A and B are shown apart, each in its own frame.
Chain A
Protein backbone atom coordinates (compact mmCIF):
# COMPACT_ATOMS: atom_id res chain seq x y z
CA UNK A 1 0.00 0.00 0.00
CA UNK A 2 1.39 3.41 -1.00
CA UNK A 3 2.66 5.64 1.74
CA UNK A 4 0.24 8.59 1.50
CA UNK A 5 2.86 11.07 2.70
CA UNK A 6 4.94 10.29 -0.43
CA UNK A 7 2.08 11.06 -2.91
CA UNK A 8 2.85 14.79 -3.32
CA UNK A 9 6.47 13.95 -4.12
CA UNK A 10 5.41 11.49 -6.85
CA UNK A 11 3.07 14.05 -8.45
CA UNK A 12 5.76 16.71 -8.35
CA UNK A 13 8.19 14.36 -10.08
CA UNK A 14 5.71 13.49 -12.81
CA UNK A 15 4.69 17.12 -13.29
CA UNK A 16 8.28 18.44 -13.37
CA UNK A 17 8.65 18.38 -17.19
CA UNK A 18 5.36 20.28 -17.55
CA UNK A 19 6.41 22.87 -14.98
CA UNK A 20 9.69 23.44 -16.83
CA UNK A 21 7.85 24.11 -20.09
CA UNK A 22 5.03 26.26 -18.64
CA UNK A 23 6.09 29.88 -18.27
CA UNK A 24 3.96 33.06 -18.33
CA UNK A 25 2.94 34.18 -21.84
CA UNK A 26 4.50 37.56 -22.67
CA UNK A 27 2.16 40.53 -23.07
CA UNK A 28 2.50 44.02 -24.52
CA UNK A 29 2.91 46.96 -22.16
CA UNK A 30 -0.39 48.65 -22.90
CA UNK A 31 0.94 52.03 -21.80
CA UNK A 32 3.58 51.93 -24.55
CA UNK A 33 1.30 50.17 -27.03
CA UNK A 34 -1.29 52.97 -27.05
CA UNK A 35 0.37 54.92 -29.88
CA UNK A 36 1.12 51.92 -32.09
CA UNK A 37 -2.19 51.97 -33.95
CA UNK A 38 -1.55 55.54 -35.15
CA UNK A 39 1.99 54.67 -36.23
CA UNK A 40 0.84 51.62 -38.18
CA UNK A 41 -1.79 53.75 -39.93
CA UNK A 42 0.72 56.46 -40.90
CA UNK A 43 2.94 54.18 -42.97
CA UNK A 44 2.24 55.26 -46.56
CA UNK A 45 2.37 52.69 -49.33
CA UNK A 46 2.79 55.33 -52.06
CA UNK A 47 5.71 57.00 -50.29
CA UNK A 48 7.33 53.60 -49.78
CA UNK A 49 6.98 52.89 -53.48
CA UNK A 50 8.40 56.32 -54.33
CA UNK A 51 11.42 55.60 -52.11
CA UNK A 52 11.88 52.27 -53.81
CA UNK A 53 11.58 53.68 -57.33
CA UNK A 54 14.12 56.43 -56.59
CA UNK A 55 16.61 54.06 -55.02
CA UNK A 56 16.56 51.58 -57.86
CA UNK A 57 16.95 54.48 -60.31
CA UNK A 58 20.00 55.92 -58.54
CA UNK A 59 21.65 52.50 -58.41
CA UNK A 60 21.01 52.05 -62.11
CA UNK A 61 23.03 55.14 -63.10
CA UNK A 62 25.70 54.82 -60.41
CA UNK A 63 29.39 54.24 -61.15
CA UNK A 64 30.13 50.65 -60.09
CA UNK A 65 32.54 49.99 -57.29
CA UNK A 66 33.02 46.47 -58.61
CA UNK A 67 31.84 44.92 -61.87
CA UNK A 68 30.99 41.22 -61.63
CA UNK A 69 31.21 38.74 -64.45
CA UNK A 70 27.48 37.90 -64.23
CA UNK A 71 26.56 41.29 -65.69
CA UNK A 72 25.93 42.74 -62.26
CA UNK A 73 27.87 45.39 -60.41
CA UNK A 74 28.19 46.64 -56.85
CA UNK A 75 27.01 50.22 -56.40
CA UNK A 76 26.66 52.45 -53.33
CA UNK A 77 27.66 56.09 -53.94
CA UNK A 78 24.37 57.43 -55.29
CA UNK A 79 22.29 55.50 -52.75
CA UNK A 80 24.41 56.91 -49.93
CA UNK A 81 23.80 60.49 -51.05
CA UNK A 82 20.11 59.82 -51.64
CA UNK A 83 19.79 58.48 -48.10
CA UNK A 84 21.72 61.39 -46.58
CA UNK A 85 19.48 63.89 -48.40
CA UNK A 86 16.34 62.12 -47.23
CA UNK A 87 17.38 62.15 -43.56
CA UNK A 88 18.42 65.81 -43.76
CA UNK A 89 15.12 66.75 -45.40
CA UNK A 90 13.34 65.20 -42.40
CA UNK A 91 15.23 67.56 -40.10
CA UNK A 92 16.94 64.68 -38.30
CA UNK A 93 20.46 65.02 -36.91
CA UNK A 94 22.41 63.33 -39.70
CA UNK A 95 26.04 62.30 -39.71
CA UNK A 96 28.29 59.72 -41.26
CA UNK A 97 30.62 57.13 -39.82
CA UNK A 98 33.57 57.08 -42.21
CA UNK A 99 36.39 54.54 -42.02
CA UNK A 100 39.28 54.18 -44.43
CA UNK A 101 41.75 51.43 -43.59
CA UNK A 102 43.84 52.05 -46.67
CA UNK A 103 42.31 49.14 -48.54
CA UNK A 104 38.86 50.61 -49.06
CA UNK A 105 36.61 53.04 -47.27
CA UNK A 106 33.11 52.69 -45.88
CA UNK A 107 30.62 55.36 -44.93
CA UNK A 108 27.61 54.46 -42.82
CA UNK A 109 24.88 57.13 -42.82
CA UNK A 110 23.18 57.73 -39.49
CA UNK A 111 20.18 59.86 -38.55
CA UNK A 112 19.28 60.27 -34.93
CA UNK A 113 16.40 61.44 -32.77
CA UNK A 114 17.71 61.98 -29.26
CA UNK A 115 15.75 60.44 -26.41
CA UNK A 116 14.00 62.76 -23.99
CA UNK A 117 14.52 60.76 -20.77
CA UNK A 118 17.15 58.06 -21.36
CA UNK A 119 19.15 59.22 -24.40
CA UNK A 120 21.95 56.75 -23.70
CA UNK A 121 19.58 53.85 -24.40
CA UNK A 122 19.49 53.33 -28.14
CA UNK A 123 17.01 51.71 -30.48
CA UNK A 124 17.93 51.53 -34.15
CA UNK A 125 16.58 50.34 -37.46
CA UNK A 126 19.04 49.79 -40.28
CA UNK A 127 19.57 48.40 -43.77
CA UNK A 128 22.52 48.19 -46.11
CA UNK A 129 22.35 50.66 -48.99
CA UNK A 130 24.98 49.08 -51.22
CA UNK A 131 23.54 46.75 -53.81
CA UNK A 132 24.40 44.12 -56.36
CA UNK A 133 22.65 43.89 -59.70
CA UNK A 134 19.25 45.51 -60.13
CA UNK A 135 18.94 46.16 -56.39
CA UNK A 136 15.16 46.14 -55.95
CA UNK A 137 14.57 43.54 -53.22
CA UNK A 138 18.19 43.42 -52.05
CA UNK A 139 18.19 45.95 -50.56
CA UNK A 140 16.29 48.97 -51.87
CA UNK A 141 13.25 47.56 -50.06
CA UNK A 142 15.11 47.64 -46.75
CA UNK A 143 16.40 51.18 -47.23
CA UNK A 144 12.98 52.39 -48.39
CA UNK A 145 11.46 50.98 -45.21
CA UNK A 146 14.09 52.68 -43.01
CA UNK A 147 13.33 56.02 -44.66
CA UNK A 148 9.56 55.60 -44.31
CA UNK A 149 9.91 54.66 -40.63
CA UNK A 150 12.09 57.74 -40.12
CA UNK A 151 9.40 59.87 -41.75
CA UNK A 152 6.65 58.42 -39.54
CA UNK A 153 8.63 58.78 -36.31
CA UNK A 154 10.53 62.04 -36.94
CA UNK A 155 7.98 64.30 -35.28
CA UNK A 156 7.40 62.11 -32.23
CA UNK A 157 9.43 62.19 -29.03
CA UNK A 158 10.52 59.05 -27.24
CA UNK A 159 12.28 58.40 -23.92
CA UNK A 160 15.02 56.48 -25.73
CA UNK A 161 17.21 57.58 -28.65
CA UNK A 162 16.17 56.29 -32.06
CA UNK A 163 18.69 55.86 -34.87
CA UNK A 164 18.11 55.19 -38.54
CA UNK A 165 21.18 53.67 -40.18
CA UNK A 166 22.30 52.97 -43.73
CA UNK A 167 25.14 50.46 -43.61
CA UNK A 168 27.81 50.44 -46.31
CA UNK A 169 29.30 47.44 -48.10
CA UNK A 170 27.22 44.66 -46.57
CA UNK A 171 27.68 42.79 -49.81
CA UNK A 172 31.41 42.61 -49.14
CA UNK A 173 30.96 40.60 -45.96
CA UNK A 174 29.29 43.08 -43.62
CA UNK A 175 32.11 45.61 -43.70
CA UNK A 176 30.19 48.77 -42.76
CA UNK A 177 28.21 47.25 -39.90
CA UNK A 178 31.25 45.45 -38.50
CA UNK A 179 33.24 48.67 -38.48
CA UNK A 180 30.30 50.49 -36.91
CA UNK A 181 29.77 48.09 -34.03
CA UNK A 182 33.49 47.68 -33.30
CA UNK A 183 34.33 51.39 -33.33
CA UNK A 184 31.54 53.95 -33.34
CA UNK A 185 28.98 51.89 -31.42
CA UNK A 186 31.32 49.69 -29.41
CA UNK A 187 30.25 51.20 -26.10
CA UNK A 188 26.70 52.10 -27.07
CA UNK A 189 23.87 50.72 -24.98
CA UNK A 190 21.81 49.25 -27.81
CA UNK A 191 18.64 47.92 -26.23
CA UNK A 192 16.80 46.87 -29.40
CA UNK A 193 17.33 46.91 -33.14
CA UNK A 194 15.92 45.80 -36.45
CA UNK A 195 18.05 45.07 -39.52
CA UNK A 196 16.32 44.72 -42.88
CA UNK A 197 17.71 42.73 -45.77
CA UNK A 198 15.38 41.89 -48.68
CA UNK A 199 11.85 42.47 -47.41
CA UNK A 200 9.73 42.89 -50.52
CA UNK A 201 9.36 39.54 -52.30
CA UNK A 202 6.32 37.38 -51.66
CA UNK A 203 5.11 34.27 -53.48
CA UNK A 204 1.77 32.63 -52.66
CA UNK A 205 2.37 29.59 -54.89
CA UNK A 206 2.68 26.19 -53.14
CA UNK A 207 6.28 25.00 -52.76
CA UNK A 208 7.61 28.49 -53.45
CA UNK A 209 9.55 28.49 -50.18
CA UNK A 210 12.77 26.55 -49.82
CA UNK A 211 14.59 25.80 -46.62
CA UNK A 212 17.28 23.61 -45.09
CA UNK A 213 17.09 20.37 -43.05
CA UNK A 214 16.18 21.21 -39.51
CA UNK A 215 14.52 24.50 -40.51
CA UNK A 216 10.80 23.78 -41.02
CA UNK A 217 9.15 26.39 -43.20
CA UNK A 218 5.71 26.91 -44.71
CA UNK A 219 5.32 25.72 -48.28
CA UNK A 220 4.27 29.18 -49.49
CA UNK A 221 6.75 32.03 -49.48
CA UNK A 222 4.16 34.51 -48.21
CA UNK A 223 5.61 35.37 -44.81
CA UNK A 224 8.32 37.61 -43.41
CA UNK A 225 10.97 35.88 -41.33
CA UNK A 226 11.76 37.55 -38.01
CA UNK A 227 15.02 36.07 -36.79
CA UNK A 228 16.50 36.50 -33.33
CA UNK A 229 18.93 34.78 -31.01
CA UNK A 230 18.87 34.06 -27.28
CA UNK A 231 19.79 37.62 -26.16
CA UNK A 232 17.12 38.94 -28.55
CA UNK A 233 14.35 36.49 -27.60
CA UNK A 234 12.36 39.21 -25.78
CA UNK A 235 12.40 41.27 -29.00
CA UNK A 236 11.06 38.25 -30.88
CA UNK A 237 8.29 37.99 -28.27
CA UNK A 238 7.39 41.65 -28.90
CA UNK A 239 7.37 41.12 -32.67
CA UNK A 240 4.93 38.26 -32.29
CA UNK A 241 2.69 40.26 -29.98
CA UNK A 242 2.63 43.30 -32.28
CA UNK A 243 1.82 41.22 -35.34
CA UNK A 244 -0.93 39.47 -33.36
CA UNK A 245 -2.32 42.89 -32.46
CA UNK A 246 -2.24 44.51 -35.93
CA UNK A 247 -1.99 41.60 -38.44
CA UNK A 248 -0.04 43.67 -40.98
CA UNK A 249 1.95 40.74 -42.37
CA UNK A 250 2.30 36.99 -41.83
CA UNK A 251 5.29 36.29 -39.61
CA UNK A 252 7.40 33.19 -39.06
CA UNK A 253 9.86 33.57 -36.20
CA UNK A 254 13.19 31.80 -35.86
CA UNK A 255 15.10 31.98 -32.61
CA UNK A 256 18.67 30.86 -33.06
CA UNK A 257 20.37 28.80 -30.36
CA UNK A 258 22.46 30.75 -27.88
CA UNK A 259 24.24 33.76 -29.35
CA UNK A 260 24.38 32.04 -32.77
CA UNK A 261 28.05 31.20 -32.84
CA UNK A 262 27.30 27.59 -33.83
CA UNK A 263 27.94 26.18 -37.29
CA UNK A 264 24.27 25.53 -37.92
CA UNK A 265 23.48 29.24 -37.46
CA UNK A 266 25.45 30.23 -40.56
CA UNK A 267 22.46 31.04 -42.72
CA UNK A 268 20.96 33.13 -39.93
CA UNK A 269 24.05 35.39 -39.85
CA UNK A 270 23.99 36.68 -43.41
CA UNK A 271 23.38 40.37 -42.83
CA UNK A 272 24.27 43.43 -40.79
CA UNK A 273 22.70 42.17 -37.56
CA UNK A 274 25.45 39.54 -37.27
CA UNK A 275 28.21 41.87 -35.98
CA UNK A 276 25.80 43.05 -33.30
CA UNK A 277 24.92 39.48 -32.29
CA UNK A 278 28.58 38.54 -32.10
CA UNK A 279 29.09 41.38 -29.63
CA UNK A 280 26.08 40.41 -27.54
CA UNK A 281 23.85 43.30 -28.65
CA UNK A 282 20.17 42.42 -29.22
CA UNK A 283 18.77 42.74 -32.73
CA UNK A 284 16.16 41.20 -34.99
CA UNK A 285 16.95 40.29 -38.58
CA UNK A 286 13.89 40.75 -40.80
CA UNK A 287 14.01 39.20 -44.27
CA UNK A 288 11.92 37.53 -46.93
CA UNK A 289 14.66 34.83 -46.85
CA UNK A 290 16.20 36.05 -50.13
CA UNK A 291 17.58 33.14 -52.19
CA UNK A 292 15.44 30.61 -50.30
CA UNK A 293 12.40 32.17 -51.97
CA UNK A 294 13.42 34.78 -54.54
CA UNK A 295 14.84 33.41 -57.83
CA UNK A 296 15.95 36.96 -58.68
CA UNK A 297 18.36 37.16 -55.75
CA UNK A 298 21.61 38.81 -56.90
CA UNK A 299 20.42 38.66 -60.49
CA UNK A 300 19.73 41.33 -63.12
CA UNK A 301 16.08 40.31 -62.72
CA UNK A 302 15.85 41.75 -59.18
CA UNK A 303 13.65 44.53 -60.55
CA UNK A 304 10.84 46.72 -59.27
CA UNK A 305 8.18 44.59 -60.98
CA UNK A 306 9.02 41.63 -58.70
CA UNK A 307 8.33 43.56 -55.47
CA UNK A 308 4.99 43.16 -53.67
CA UNK A 309 4.09 46.67 -52.39
CA UNK A 310 1.38 45.41 -50.02
CA UNK A 311 3.81 42.95 -48.46
CA UNK A 312 6.49 45.64 -48.16
CA UNK A 313 4.03 47.99 -46.48
CA UNK A 314 3.00 45.29 -44.00
CA UNK A 315 6.61 44.63 -43.02
CA UNK A 316 7.27 48.36 -42.65
CA UNK A 317 4.17 48.81 -40.49
CA UNK A 318 5.18 45.97 -38.17
CA UNK A 319 8.71 47.32 -37.86
CA UNK A 320 7.65 50.95 -37.32
CA UNK A 321 5.41 49.81 -34.48
CA UNK A 322 8.21 47.78 -32.92
CA UNK A 323 10.75 50.62 -33.07
CA UNK A 324 8.22 52.99 -31.47
CA UNK A 325 7.34 50.39 -28.82
CA UNK A 326 10.95 49.85 -27.84
CA UNK A 327 11.80 53.56 -28.00
CA UNK A 328 8.97 54.27 -25.62
CA UNK A 329 10.27 51.82 -23.02
Chain B
Protein backbone atom coordinates (compact mmCIF):
# COMPACT_ATOMS: atom_id res chain seq x y z
CA UNK B 1 0.00 0.00 0.00
CA UNK B 2 2.88 2.39 0.88
CA UNK B 3 4.77 1.53 -2.33
CA UNK B 4 1.70 2.02 -4.49
CA UNK B 5 0.88 5.31 -2.76
CA UNK B 6 4.43 6.46 -3.44
CA UNK B 7 4.14 5.51 -7.11
CA UNK B 8 0.79 7.24 -7.43
CA UNK B 9 2.06 10.34 -5.62
CA UNK B 10 5.07 10.45 -7.95
CA UNK B 11 2.91 10.25 -11.04
CA UNK B 12 0.55 12.81 -9.59
CA UNK B 13 3.37 15.37 -9.32
CA UNK B 14 4.01 15.10 -13.07
CA UNK B 15 2.11 17.88 -14.86
CA UNK B 16 -1.52 16.71 -15.09
CA UNK B 17 -4.76 18.03 -16.48
CA UNK B 18 -6.66 20.53 -14.27
CA UNK B 19 -8.04 18.98 -11.07
CA UNK B 20 -11.64 17.89 -11.74
CA UNK B 21 -14.41 19.03 -9.41
CA UNK B 22 -16.30 16.54 -7.21
CA UNK B 23 -18.09 13.99 -9.39
CA UNK B 24 -20.61 11.28 -8.69
CA UNK B 25 -20.62 8.14 -10.78
CA UNK B 26 -22.78 5.05 -10.91
CA UNK B 27 -21.20 1.74 -11.85
CA UNK B 28 -22.05 -1.86 -12.58
CA UNK B 29 -19.61 -4.60 -11.73
CA UNK B 30 -19.13 -8.34 -12.19
CA UNK B 31 -16.75 -10.35 -10.08
CA UNK B 32 -15.92 -12.99 -7.56
CA UNK B 33 -15.83 -12.58 -3.80
CA UNK B 34 -15.17 -15.42 -1.37
CA UNK B 35 -14.52 -15.41 2.36
CA UNK B 36 -12.73 -18.58 3.45
CA UNK B 37 -12.25 -19.33 7.14
CA UNK B 38 -11.84 -22.41 9.34
CA UNK B 39 -15.54 -22.17 10.27
CA UNK B 40 -17.18 -21.13 7.01
CA UNK B 41 -16.96 -20.34 3.33
CA UNK B 42 -19.27 -17.70 1.91
CA UNK B 43 -19.40 -15.78 -1.34
CA UNK B 44 -19.46 -16.69 -4.98
CA UNK B 45 -19.62 -15.31 -8.49
CA UNK B 46 -21.94 -12.49 -9.48
CA UNK B 47 -22.13 -8.74 -9.60
CA UNK B 48 -23.85 -5.60 -8.52
CA UNK B 49 -24.16 -1.86 -8.68
CA UNK B 50 -22.63 1.03 -6.81
CA UNK B 51 -22.04 4.74 -6.38
CA UNK B 52 -18.62 6.41 -6.41
CA UNK B 53 -17.84 9.95 -5.32
CA UNK B 54 -14.60 11.44 -6.62
CA UNK B 55 -13.39 14.39 -4.57
CA UNK B 56 -11.09 17.20 -5.73
CA UNK B 57 -7.48 16.08 -6.21
CA UNK B 58 -7.30 12.27 -5.88
CA UNK B 59 -9.65 11.08 -3.15
CA UNK B 60 -12.61 8.83 -3.73
CA UNK B 61 -15.26 6.95 -1.82
CA UNK B 62 -17.61 4.27 -3.05
CA UNK B 63 -20.30 1.85 -1.97
CA UNK B 64 -21.83 -1.07 -3.83
CA UNK B 65 -24.35 -3.85 -3.34
CA UNK B 66 -23.74 -7.26 -4.91
CA UNK B 67 -25.35 -10.67 -5.33
CA UNK B 68 -23.38 -13.89 -5.70
CA UNK B 69 -24.24 -17.48 -6.59
CA UNK B 70 -22.16 -20.67 -6.93
CA UNK B 71 -22.03 -21.52 -3.21
CA UNK B 72 -25.51 -20.30 -2.24
CA UNK B 73 -27.54 -17.08 -2.35
CA UNK B 74 -25.19 -14.43 -0.99
CA UNK B 75 -25.32 -10.65 -0.76
CA UNK B 76 -22.41 -8.30 -0.22
CA UNK B 77 -22.19 -4.65 0.74
CA UNK B 78 -18.80 -3.05 0.11
CA UNK B 79 -17.71 0.32 1.47
CA UNK B 80 -14.43 1.78 0.31
CA UNK B 81 -12.31 4.91 0.35
CA UNK B 82 -8.95 5.70 -1.14
CA UNK B 83 -6.96 7.44 -3.81
CA UNK B 84 -6.95 7.49 -7.59
CA UNK B 85 -4.84 8.97 -10.35
CA UNK B 86 -6.77 11.47 -12.49
CA UNK B 87 -6.51 11.10 -16.22
CA UNK B 88 -7.10 8.49 -18.90
CA UNK B 89 -5.21 5.85 -16.96
CA UNK B 90 -7.11 6.06 -13.71
CA UNK B 91 -5.80 3.40 -11.28
CA UNK B 92 -7.03 3.40 -7.71
CA UNK B 93 -6.19 1.94 -4.32
CA UNK B 94 -8.85 1.71 -1.64
CA UNK B 95 -9.31 0.56 1.89
CA UNK B 96 -12.39 -1.66 1.79
CA UNK B 97 -14.92 -3.05 4.23
CA UNK B 98 -16.87 -6.06 2.94
CA UNK B 99 -20.07 -7.33 4.54
CA UNK B 100 -21.11 -10.76 3.22
CA UNK B 101 -24.46 -12.20 4.26
CA UNK B 102 -26.62 -15.15 3.28
CA UNK B 103 -26.10 -18.86 2.67
CA UNK B 104 -22.74 -20.43 3.35
CA UNK B 105 -20.81 -23.64 3.86
CA UNK B 106 -20.25 -24.18 7.58
CA UNK B 107 -17.63 -26.44 9.12
CA UNK B 108 -17.96 -27.94 12.59
CA UNK B 109 -14.85 -28.81 14.54
CA UNK B 110 -13.84 -28.73 18.19
CA UNK B 111 -12.80 -25.08 17.69
CA UNK B 112 -16.04 -24.10 15.93
CA UNK B 113 -18.82 -26.53 16.92
CA UNK B 114 -21.77 -24.24 16.15
CA UNK B 115 -22.35 -22.62 12.75
CA UNK B 116 -22.63 -18.87 12.49
CA UNK B 117 -25.43 -17.34 10.48
CA UNK B 118 -24.57 -13.68 10.91
CA UNK B 119 -22.92 -11.28 8.46
CA UNK B 120 -19.22 -11.67 7.77
CA UNK B 121 -17.47 -8.31 8.09
CA UNK B 122 -13.90 -8.14 6.83
CA UNK B 123 -11.53 -5.24 6.21
CA UNK B 124 -8.78 -4.96 3.66
CA UNK B 125 -7.56 -3.31 0.49
CA UNK B 126 -8.66 -3.24 -3.10
CA UNK B 127 -6.44 -2.34 -6.05
CA UNK B 128 -7.67 -1.31 -9.50
CA UNK B 129 -4.53 -1.10 -11.62
CA UNK B 130 -6.31 -1.37 -14.98
CA UNK B 131 -8.90 1.35 -14.65
CA UNK B 132 -9.45 3.90 -17.38
CA UNK B 133 -11.60 7.02 -17.65
CA UNK B 134 -12.59 9.03 -20.66
CA UNK B 135 -15.06 11.89 -20.50
CA UNK B 136 -17.91 10.58 -18.36
CA UNK B 137 -17.12 6.88 -18.69
CA UNK B 138 -14.96 4.55 -16.62
CA UNK B 139 -13.98 0.95 -17.25
CA UNK B 140 -11.93 -1.32 -15.08
CA UNK B 141 -10.80 -4.94 -15.29
CA UNK B 142 -9.06 -7.29 -12.88
CA UNK B 143 -9.50 -5.40 -9.65
CA UNK B 144 -7.92 -7.38 -6.83
CA UNK B 145 -9.02 -7.32 -3.23
CA UNK B 146 -7.84 -8.94 -0.04
CA UNK B 147 -9.51 -8.71 3.37
CA UNK B 148 -9.17 -10.29 6.77
CA UNK B 149 -11.53 -11.18 9.62
CA UNK B 150 -10.82 -12.95 12.92
CA UNK B 151 -12.42 -16.42 13.11
CA UNK B 152 -11.46 -16.98 16.76
CA UNK B 153 -9.63 -19.15 16.86
CA UNK B 154 -8.02 -18.62 13.51
CA UNK B 155 -8.41 -16.08 10.77
CA UNK B 156 -10.58 -15.87 7.68
CA UNK B 157 -9.50 -14.26 4.44
CA UNK B 158 -11.73 -12.54 1.89
CA UNK B 159 -10.56 -12.71 -1.70
CA UNK B 160 -12.16 -10.66 -4.43
CA UNK B 161 -11.58 -10.28 -8.13
CA UNK B 162 -13.43 -7.61 -10.05
CA UNK B 163 -13.70 -9.02 -13.53
CA UNK B 164 -15.29 -5.97 -15.16
CA UNK B 165 -16.66 -2.63 -14.01
CA UNK B 166 -18.33 -0.01 -16.15
CA UNK B 167 -19.29 3.38 -14.77
CA UNK B 168 -20.84 6.64 -15.83
CA UNK B 169 -20.44 9.93 -13.99
CA UNK B 170 -22.95 12.72 -13.76
Contact = CB atoms under 8 A, between A and B. Distances in A.
Contacts of B117: 20-21, 23
Interface string A261-279: 0111100000000000000
A214 B108 contact: no
B109 interface: yes
A25 B115 CA distance: 10
Interface residues of B, number: 26
B71 A17 contact: no
Interface of A: 17, 20-21, 23, 25-26, 213-216, 218, 226, 230, 233, 236-237, 240, 244, 251-258, 262-265
B55 interface: no
A112 B36 CA distance: 43
Contact of B115 (A17, A226, A255, A262): A255
Contact of B106 (A23, A244, A255, A264): A255
B70 A262 contact: yes
A254 B108 contact: yes
B115 A233 contact: yes
B118 A21 contact: yes
Q: Which of B34, B69, B106 has its CB near the most chain A CB atoms (within 10 A)?
A: B106
B17 to A, nearest CB: 42
Contact of B72 (A213, A218, A252, A262): A262
Given A214-B41, A216-B38, A240 B113 contact: yes
Contact of A20 (B71, B109, B118): B118
Nearest to B36: A214
A258 B73 contact: yes
B73 A21 contact: no
A253 B70 contact: no
B52 interface: no
Nearest to B73: A258
B118 A254 contact: no
B71 A253 contact: no
Interface string B76-106: 0000000000000000000000000001111
